[in-house]
Structure 1
Amino acid sequence: MADRLIGRMAKGAARRVGSSRVLGLALLVALLALRVADPGPVAALRSAAFDLYQQIQPRSYARQPVAIVDLDDASIEELGQWPWPRDRMAELVTKITADGAAAIAFDVIFSEPDRLSPARVAERDGIPVDLRDALKDLPDNDALFARAISRSRVVTGQTSVRLAGDRGVSSDVREVPHAFLGEDPTPFLQKYPRLLQNLPVIEDAAMGHGVFSTRPDPDGIYRRAPLVLMVEDRVRLGLAPELLRVATGGDAFAVRTNAAGIEGVVVARQLVPTAGDGTVWPYLTPSRADRYVSAADILTGRMPEGRLRGHLVLVGTSAIGLEDFRPTPLGVSMAGVEIHAQILENILAGSLLERPNTAIAVELVITALLGLIIIILVPAFRATFVMILAVVVMAGYAGGSWYAFAAQRTLLDPTFPILAAVLTLMLMASLNYLREERMRRQIRSAFGQYVSPDLVDQLSDNPDALTLGGERRELTLLFSDVRGFTTIAESYRDDPEGLTLLMNRFLTALSNAILDERGTIDKFMGDAVMAFWNAPLDTPDHPAAACRAALAMYDRVREINDERRAEEGDGVLLIDVGIGLSTGACTVGNMGSDTRFDYTALGDTVNLASRLEGLSKNYGLGIIADDSVHTQVGGDFAMIELDRVRVKGKLLPVTIYALMGDRAMCDRPAWAALADANAEMRAAYDVKDWEGGEAALERLEQAGDELGQDMSGYAALYRERIAGFRNAPPPEGWDGVFIAASK
């Protein structure tokens, strides 16, 4: 009888455990739906956590070539109330330019004619006729200002306003060159109403036009800023990235998009990641006086000479009376122009906070996992164990969120997953408590007639017993070129448009492989590509990033060849690419003339990478790297030593390596056989053991076949050399160095 009662109670307890888990799952689903809806209180809690992170660990200030020319209270007190006459603003621009500023952007708008222009003053009542005529003959202040702007690299600031009864689009909005990579980004971008511009004469004189409008969050704090946005159905850059674009040559910017939203903006030939709507999260430092230069100091000559040389200069105001202060995540207000300056510093240093498009999905998965752990464990284990485990898991996630911020600058919401876990834990603990109380009552009632009171108390206390179970820096350079491009081009002699489409398709694939690894595309030279890593944004693992990009480029060329073979048949001429990689110190920055320059890299490393690309054809292998690359990443990639060569233009020999695969290839048994055979061949070659070298080449080709790597061209090169040395042995003191006579 007791056994049957225990069995019935155990089954009832199991049913109640099942029902409590169903209720827990229902709550979890509701919480996930709440997160997807993201109402104001949920977003506010998340934002407050991100603010707290910045307040605990604000960005460490590192000097960047960014400066603010401040229309501060001292300048206004010394030189007169704002707005100043435009001829004074012209003088300010001229002096900033003369001090060597790279480019200037105005966080100020000049939308109305200068009321102090001589012709405007002449219109006032009471002016004598001869004085009026003299004033009318003087130059217009706005024209003077525009002339000064035209002689420099200046970005005019624009903003968005909502005009009553005016919903049209302005016809005189100046376009900024841009392109789209991927999906159409316009559905994702923040959209602003009618654009308030500067006077036409000022807009026409400027090299760039940036929008400084930003939207605060519902609590009034400015946490994000649009890197790219839409105003009057036109795609524009924000003020800071537009200043960087103009300073680095004024090339078109590009918006990179996928089906989930915007991935980033290519500006200054560098992909800057953004949120899905094109905004960025600036990582702020407290306000710093050394960012600012007083406008009065410039105009009166008190500023030290060269203070602005090479700097990106933002002209704005910190004057209290002009009220250009914004609440920030640091808990204090900051001048709007300094926020723009910090965005620019973030872009240059690669220190923007990142909240990827996948962040919400990650947080939903984590919320679901935390909830499921609690739902599964609470009914099955003691409360103490579950509470300790829950605290450990939630603390671990909170620590992970903090680590993502502190080490990776990634914003991962610490609040909602933990709040959802706490609510789920409270529900499951409450249901568990009610279940245990109910079970205790049932045990006492059921067993009170059959067993001793001591056993009833024991079972009551332990219900589980009822169940059984423009600087010098180190860069990595990449050069790629198409082998036999002349022959391919000749096959399209009757279809030049088809050749253009092929090259666009090919260069797009290579460009995406480089940008995916945060590389900078220096230039396209016909069918050739030059790229580098670690400038202008820091890339700590730049040699590895370049190697990954090179392998991805090779894979994408193979995909294009497969597609073309399917489209045009087996007789199509396939694209074969050679790639050279080298790491070393370079000079990188804006180079050219005063009126036309490019952001590029110069130095011996650049030349060496180009020479290595040319050598790839001789060795029959696609990717060749020098010893500087191999030293830093050799253990993480499949690389073999090819030769020691003295390239054209260099006195010292260089050891070169073939990059053949990633770590996965290194783990294949056939790779060890190939690497060993190559090492034996190189050792035999160096000591003039021609028979041993040829035997090792046989094993090398066999191992290459097992790996799917064609080593025949490489083997043929060494067989030809060995045959030549048999006929004409190398001289005494031969060091094994091959002299590359051609580029």
Structure 2
Amino acid sequence: MATGATTLLAKSDEAGIKSVVVAGVEIETERDGQLWLHFTPHDPRRYVSAADVLSGRIPNDRIEGKLVLIGTSAAGLYDLRTTPLERAMPGVEIHAQAIESILDNALLLRPNYALGLEICLALAIGIGIIIVVPLLGALATVLLGIAIIALLGVLSGYLFVSSGILIDVVYPLVSSTVVFLLLASINYLREEKRRAGIRSAFSQYLAPELVEQLTREPDRLKLGGETRTMSVLFSDVRGFTSIAESFRENPSGLTELMNRLLTPLSRAIIERRGTIDKYIGDAIMAFWNAPLDDPDHAKHACEAALAISERLDALNEALALEAQNGGESIPPMEIGIGISTGLCMVGNMGSDIRFDYSVLGDSVNLASRIQNLANSYGLRILICPETAARCQDALAIVAVDDVRVKGRKHAVTVHTVLGGPELLRDPKFRSFRTAFETMRAHYLRGEWIEAMNALEASRQHYDDPRIYRLLDIYASRIATLKRRSSLEGWTGVFTDMYPGATELLTTDQNWTATQPWVEGS
């Protein structure tokens, strides 16, 4: 009406209305015909009081040749509107700003492709997050997200200021944030499931603090199998079969005894960072330095063996006291423990139906073999040379014998652990160990008189029932070997030819002992 135009021309494209032409002035719009105003603050200079106009107080040139809008500004007439810049602005002023923007060609432009561009941005950022999060991790993704937000904000601001183009980056950012949070939630649930699996898999044979460490640092767990230097322990209660036979009429009593036996022995292992591999009847197999690193694995294994021995003694005392009070009479239990240190393969072993976290290797076989030999020497603990070398300065260790165990071509020097640091510092023990080592040196060279003298000296330096049988074995060997007319083929190496006994091994196949030098019990 103000322009006197008789026609109204609307231009459109595939997305909808593009612009409207009035009196030769093209007004760009959204696809639904709406305008995007570039709002300005409230300006009183736009207003002329209607009362002043009617009373003639307004000069004619103030309104002559201008477009005049008549409206209200009183709050009670309900024509106040909120704009991005003002909490309350009269609706008539908003119309005035719209006309000014049209005439000055200052309308904001939101192109018809804007929505498609925003959707594409949302999809691109969302897909990027899905790809990048697993590769970069959460922290790097957050930093990248902050950089993208800043970049989009700068781009949107630049287009707004320089060209008046409106690109809404809020939608892409909100949608990508939702994708990120969804991924984070999925990863959290997956991590919780993984931790629950680790707890379930290891809680039965690892110390609780080690299980928690694994759940906090699951990357330290390699379930696929890996080669490590490890210490392996085998323990077996001697004569338990006959004890079990005495419970044939009382299976629940045998179960209770097994639990009373295995519980303290297992705790001795777990408390020293050991991993229980399996129970084989009354026997226990355990290992150290997996699944978590343990630089002192050999020392911890030996300390566990000493603790097992002490706790078995405590159990024997408790059972003897119960027998005195009318309980089941159970003979004292003895135990053999073998420890070997070396390269092993550790990981999930088994089939596609069932598998366990276990260990394989030559050290496993050696630990089992020397465990079987321990009782032959009247000792509870035997360890391999590598284990002894790692613990020599921390525990009371003595070299016992050179033995070729079944399944191995070369002999190994087995050692025993008699005590901890306190015993190691005991002058009597040190004197005993020196005398015993001297005896073995003479013994290996075939110097029988010197060996016997050193053996007697070792008896005098240290009086411990645990080594009586070992000393008696060497006394018997030396006495027998002294009667030999020749030392041809003598190597000083013994072999476990059959369970529970060792025989003299020489390089001469025709020269064999007439009886086992160490009789089985």
TM-score (normalised: structure 1): 0.40
Deviation at 1:739, TM superposition (A): 2.0
Partner of 1:270: 206
2:365 to 607, 617, 634: 607
* Structure 2: distance between partners of 1:569 and 1:211: 58
Shift of 1:709: 4.1
Paired residues of 2:205 and 2:270 also in contact (CA < 8 A): no
Q: CA deviation at 1:518?
A: 1.0
Equivalent residue number for residue 726 of structure 1:
482
- Alpha-carbon distance, 1:684 to partner: 2.1
Q: Aligned residue for 1:53? A: none
- Distance (whole Å) between structure 1 residues aligned to residue 378 and residue 442 of structure 2: 21
What is the DSSP-based 3-state SS (H/G/I as helix, E as strand, rest coil) of the residue aligned with 1:524? strand
Amino acid at match of 1:714: L
| Structure 1 pair 281–533 and aligned structure 2 pair: CA distance change class (3 A) | closer
1:345 equivalent among 211, 219, 222: 219
Mapping 1:334-733, distance limit 5 Å: 343-345=217-219, 470-569=225-324, 572-705=330-463, 708-728=464-484, 731-733=487-489
Contact 1:550 1:623 survives alignment (8 Å): yes
Query: Quick one: which amino acid aligns to residue 348 of structure 2?
Result: N
- Please point out which of 227, 242, 249 is paired with 2:196: 242
Amino acid at match of 2:206: Q
Deviation at 1:548, TM superposition (A): 1.0
Pairing of 1:302-341 with structure 2 (within 5 A): none
Residue type of the alignment partner of 2:404: R
Q: Are the structure 2 counterparts of residues 729 and 522 from structure 1 closer, same or farther at C-alpha, using a change threshold of 3 Å?
A: farther
Shift of 1:592: 1.2
Shift of 1:638: 0.3
Equivalent residues in 2 for 1:46-65, closer than 5 Å: none
Query: How has the CA–CA distance of structure 1 residues 568 and 701 changed in structure 2, closer, same or farther, with 3 Å as cutoff?
Result: farther
Residues 471 and 501 (structure 1), Cα distance of their counterparts in 2 relative to 1, 3 Å cut? same
Checking the alignment, whether the CA contact within 8 Å between 1:240 and 1:343 is kept in structure 2 is: no
User: 1:473, 1:585 within 8 Å by CA — same for their partners in 2?
Assistant: yes
SS of 2:293 mapped into structure 1: coil
Question: Cα gap change, 1:729/1:542 in structure 2, threshold over 3 Å: closer, same or farther?
Answer: farther
Preserved contact between residue 543 and residue 629 of structure 1 (Cα < 8 Å)? yes
- For residues 76-155 of structure 1, the aligned pairs below 5 Å read 77=127
Q: How many Å separate the matches in 1 of 2:412 and 2:404? A: 6
Cα separation, 2, equivalents of 1:589 and 1:530 = 15
Q: Give a deviation string over 1:693-723, Cα, whole Å, max 9, x none.
A: 3333333334342xx4422211222223223
Distance 1:704 1:537, change over 3 A: same
Work out whether residues 270 and 536 of structure 1, in 8 Å CA contact, stay in contact via their aligned partners in 2.
no
Note the alpha carbon deviations across 1:63-109, whole angstroms, 9 max, x for none.
xxxxxxxxx9769649x9xxxxxxxxxxxxxxxxxxxxxxxxxxxxx
Is contact 2:401–2:413 with CA below 8 Å preserved after alignment? yes
Q: In 1, distance between residues paired with 2:258 and 2:459?
A: 33
Structure 1 residue 531: Cα displacement: 0.4
Q: 1:347 to 1:586 in 2, by over 3 A?
A: closer
**How far apart, in 2, do the equivalents of 1:719 and 1:281 lie?**
51
Where 2:498 maps in the other structure, the secondary structure is coil
Q: Deviations over 1:159-197 (max 9, x none)?
A: 9xxxxxxxxxxxxxxxxxxxxxxxxxxxxxxxxxxxxxx
The structure, 1 or 2, with the larger RCO (C-alpha pairs under 8 Å, 6+ apart) is 1
3-state SS, counterpart of residue 497 of structure 2: coil
- Alpha-carbon distance between aligned partners in 2 of 1:240 and 1:602, rounded to the nearest angstrom: 25
Change (3 A) 1:77 1:739: closer
Distance 1:717 1:730 in 2: 21
Provide structure 2 residue ranges, at least 5 long, that are not aligned to the other structure.
1-121, 131-184, 500-521
Distance across 2 between alignment mates of 1:547 and 1:498: 31
> CA 1:667–1:212 in structure 2 vs 1: closer, same or farther (change >3 Å)?
same
Residue type at the aligned position of 2:205: R
Structure-2 residue corresponding to 1:737: 493
Whole-angstrom CA distance in 2 between matches of 1:704 and 1:211: 61
Measure the CA separation in 2 of the matches of 1:281 and 1:270. 11
Report the AA paired with residue 488 of structure 2: E
TM-score by length of structure 2 reads 0.56
Q: Report the alpha carbon displacement of residue 672 of structure 1 after superposing the two structures with TM.
A: 1.5
Shift of 1:645: 1.0
Give the partner amino acid of 1:701. Answer: R
CA distance in 2: counterparts of 1:662 and 1:722, whole angstroms: 30
Seen in structure 2, the aligned counterparts of structure 1 residues 597 and 348 have a Cα distance that, compared at 3 Å, is: closer
**CA shift at 1:688, angstroms?**
1.8
Judging changes above 3 Å, is the alpha-carbon distance between structure 1 residues 579 and 502 closer, same or farther for their aligned structure 2 residues?
A: same
- Determine if contact 2:272/2:300 at 8 Å carries over to the other structure: yes
Counterparts of 2:398 and 2:338, CA distance in 1? 15
Asked if 2 retains the 8 angstrom alpha-carbon contact of 1:618 and 1:717, the reply is: no
Query: What is the SS of the residue equivalent to 2:392?
Result: helix
May I ask how many residue pairs the two structures share in their alignment? 321
**CA, structure 1 residues 741+74, in 2 after alignment: closer, same or farther (shift >3 Å)?**
farther
Give the distance between the partners of 1:73 and 1:270, measured in 2 at CA.
Answer: 46
Q: Secondary structure, in 3 states, of the residue corresponding to 1:674?
A: helix
User: Cα offset for 1:633?
Assistant: 1.2
Deviation at 1:508, TM superposition (A): 0.5
Question: Equivalents in 2 of 1:670, 1:597: separation in Å?
Answer: 49
The answer as to whether partners of 1:704 and 1:710 remain within 8 angstroms in 2 is no
Correspondence list, 1:12-91, <5 A: 77=127
CA contact (8 A) 1:269 1:520 kept: yes
Which residue in 1 is equivalent to 2:61?
none
Larger Rg: 2
- In structure 1, distance between residues paired with 2:353 and 2:125: 32
**What is the CA-CA distance between 1:742 and the residue it aligns to?**
2.9
Given residue 470 of structure 2, which amino acid in structure 1 is its aligned partner? Y
In structure 2, the residue matched to 1:200 is none
Structure 2 contact 396–421 (Cα < 8 Å) conserved: yes
- State whether residues 477 and 606 of structure 1, in contact with CA within 8 Å, keep that contact through their aligned partners in structure 2: yes
Letter in 2 for 1:549: A
Determine what percentage of the aligned residue pairs are the same residue.
40
Matches of 1:533 and 1:572, distance apart in 2: 33
Cα 1:76–1:568 change in 2 (3 A) is same
Look up the match of 1:363: none
Offset of 1:538 from its aligned partner? Answer: 0.9
Unaligned 5+ segments in structure 1 are: 1-71, 81-158, 160-209, 214-224, 226-237, 246-251, 254-265, 283-339, 350-469
Q: 2-side partners of 1:244 and 1:575: how far apart? A: 35
Distance 1:719 1:487, change over 3 A: farther
Look up the equivalent residue of 2:207 and give its one-letter code.
L
Contact residue 446 and residue 487 of structure 2 kept, 8 A: no
Shift of 1:591: 1.1
CA shift in 2, pair 1:683/1:595, >3 Å: same
Give the root-mean-square deviation of aligned CA atoms: 3.3
Deviates further, 606-615 or 569-578: 569-578
* Structure 1 position 493, deviation (Å): 3.1
